[in-house]
Chains A and B, each alone.
Chain A
Amino acid sequence: QQQVKQSPQSLIVQKGGISIINCAYENTAFDYFPWYQQFPGKGPALLIAIRPDVSEKKEGRFTISFNKSAKQFSLHIMDSQPGDSATYFCAAWDYGQNFVFGPGTRLSVLP
């Protein structure tokens, strides 16, 4: 049962471009939305996170946009770099379920 949908499945961006990954959820009990970055052979690492009472959060080149009414949120990576090439997972947290992850987006940034 996929409670968090994520798109696209894969993304190719030129160096310096903007990468955008979108997620959607149904469960209104979710109250925390992190994004994780995973490199091959490594576990996921927290990148940035947002709570639903905030519409946008920015940390360096990474920005989360959150639309509570639409139950959607997205990750924007500005000035994408080859070192950003990884798989990105959105997630949502509901007490009792722990974290529910999206299926992931494989990002490739071309030099």
Chain B
Amino acid sequence: ETGVTQSPTHLIKTRGQQVTLRCSSQSGHNTVSWYQQALGQGPQFIFQYYREEENGRGNFPPRFSGLQFPNYSSELNVNALELDDSALYLCASTPSRTRSTDTQYFGPGTRLTVL
């Protein structure tokens, strides 16, 4: 059973650019959630995808968007990057649309630095 993988590991962008982060969910999991973790803070929920549809969104502007593919892998896209977007971006998968007791399996994250 493969775990959650994310790519790239690290990324450096400049303000105003666009970035795409990728996540492969754990085998058998059809739900993917994305989180932003600023340095020294807890993860903040960005949005969740279930069977290719957005299934919940946190308090993030529309320039944060996502996709989920038929194989349940997912992308996080951020347009018009701002300095405050510098953070660790975490992807988590669950075996179904999140119920409270479903264990979320987190990937190692992508460290994004915006200069």
Contact = CB atoms under 8 A, between A and B. Distances in A.
B43 A44 contact: yes
Contact of A102 (B42, B48, B101, B104): B42
A32 B31 CA distance: 19
Interface in B68-115: 90, 92, 98, 100-101, 103-104, 106-109
A1 B58 CA distance: 12
Interface residues of B, number: 23
A103 B101 contact: no
Given A43-B92, A49-B101, A97 B41 contact: no
A96 B4 CA distance: 23
A41 interface: yes
A77 to B, nearest CB: 18
A93 interface: yes
A98 interface: yes
Contacts of A4: 42
Contacts of B101: 32, 49, 51
B41 A99 contact: no
A13 interface: no
Given A43-B4, A43-B92, A96-B56, A101 B44 contact: yes
Contacts of B41: 103-104
